[in-house]
Amino acid sequence: MLQNKTCSIKEAAQLLDVTPSTLRYWEDLGLIHAERTKEGNYRQYSLRALFNASDVAFLRKMGVSIKMIEKSRSYSLTDMVGALDITKDAIEERIASLEVILKRLNHQRKLGAHALELFERGIAPAKPAAIRLAQYNPSSERQLKTLIGDMQRYAFFVRADDLDNPIEGCIDFAGSAPTFDKGEDRILLWERRKAVKEPLDFFEGAICCVGSGGEKGVMNVRDEVKKLFDLAEEQGRVPRYAIGHFLISAYWKGPKDYYRVWIACDSRPNDALSRDAR
């Protein structure tokens, strides 16, 4: 009959998805019990023993400590229900936390895939997804917290006639919380609502910068943005400025930061501007 069927420690470990050493440890603590064979003194687990071990395995997978499991052996049914309620609340908090992590992971994966796409196509017409770009203020606690919580809000602004001086900023997207408080002193470097009123066309591209700050980082941004400006000029356009925001980092052969960049160009091709100048 089923009640008389027993399992070896190896079989029990496989059924419970634990190691034989874990079962021995639980037995040493008195959490589970195994019968012994008359010949060889081998552990044998009855169905009831497996139920008990399964209960311990379930609690451990939920993150309940061994100490708490030992303590629960003296619980009444009321105590056990209360303990499970507490464990349930903790599990729900963990699930909520993991959902936040998963959302960020999916977002970063999407940004990484977008960076690959941008590098493959060079530059292409595209409207900026951002709505404003404010200069970064090191004394602004709000901006600092924003960037720590969402590095994709870190951005830069650079003029085509002043490539050596990119300006660091915090970028805002539709639906995102602004990176500054109302009334706070700020310098707006760019606003989409104003830009769309100007005779400008926008192109989208991507750059890869070495993960370093200071003068080397500035030079790297300058060189990479100039490549995009050159691509625009090859298409007969006159670049005016670029705004870029951080996408993702990679560390193959050293740290590298990838940025999505929007290039603002005169709406008329270079040859039309040249004819007007004549």
pLDDT at 169 over 50: yes
Read off the pLDDT of residues 38-59 as tens digits, 9 standing for 90 and up.
888 889 999 889 999 998 999 8
Give the side-chain half-sphere CA count within 13 A for 41: 0
Amino acid, single-letter form, for residue 27: E
Q: What is the pLDDT of residue 96?
A: 92
Q: Rounded to whole angstroms, how far apart are CA atoms 21 and 252?
A: 39
In the sheet where 35-36 sits, what is the strand order? 6-8, 43-46, 35-36
Tokens 């079989």 correspond to 11
Q: What is the pLDDT of residue 185?
A: 62
The number of beta carbons lying within 10 Å of the beta carbon of residue 161 is: 8
Q: What is the pLDDT of residue 184?
A: 61
Q: Which of 23, 21, 88, 82 is nearest to 54 (CA)?
A: 23
Confidence at 83, pLDDT banded by 50, 70, 90: confident
Do the Cβ atoms of 205 and 123 come closer than 8 Å? yes
* Mean pLDDT of the 1-17 span: 81
Is this model's pTM higher than 0.85 or not?
Answer: no
The number of beta carbons lying within 10 Å of the beta carbon of residue 239 is: 21
Q: Rounded to whole angstroms, how far apart are CA atoms 148 and 158?
A: 23
- What percent of the chain lies above the pLDDT cut of 90? 44
Do the Cβ atoms of 65 and 72 come closer than 8 Å? no
Collapse the DSSP code of 100 into the 3-class scheme (helix H, G, I; strand E, B; otherwise coil) and give the result. helix
Q: Rounded to whole angstroms, how far apart are CA atoms 57 and 15?
A: 11
The CA-based diameter of the chain, rounded to the nearest angstrom, is 107
Do the Cβ atoms of 180 and 136 come closer than 8 Å? no
DSSP alpha helix (H) spans, the chain: 9-16, 20-28, 47-61, 66-72, 77-121, 141-149, 192-195, 214-234, 270-277
Q: Rounded to whole angstroms, how far apart are CA atoms 8 and 34?
A: 9
Read off the pLDDT of residues 84-139 as tens digits, 9 standing for 90 and up.
888 888 889 989 999 988 988 898 888 888 888 888 888 999 999 999 999 998 88
Tokens standing for residue 258: 């990838």
Q: Rounded to whole angstroms, how far apart are CA atoms 135 and 190?
A: 9
Cα→Cα distances 224→111, 210, 212, 220, 240, Å: 19, 10, 14, 6, 15
Paired residues of 173 in beta bridges? 130
Mean pLDDT (the chain) is 85
Q: What is the pLDDT of residue 261?
A: 95
Domains of the chain: 2-74 (1.10.1660.10), 122-277 (3.20.80)
Confidence at 9, pLDDT banded by 50, 70, 90: very high
Read off the pLDDT of residues 193-230 as tens digits, 9 standing for 90 and up.
999 889 999 999 999 887 655 555 556 888 999 999 99
Q: What is the pLDDT of residue 40?
A: 87
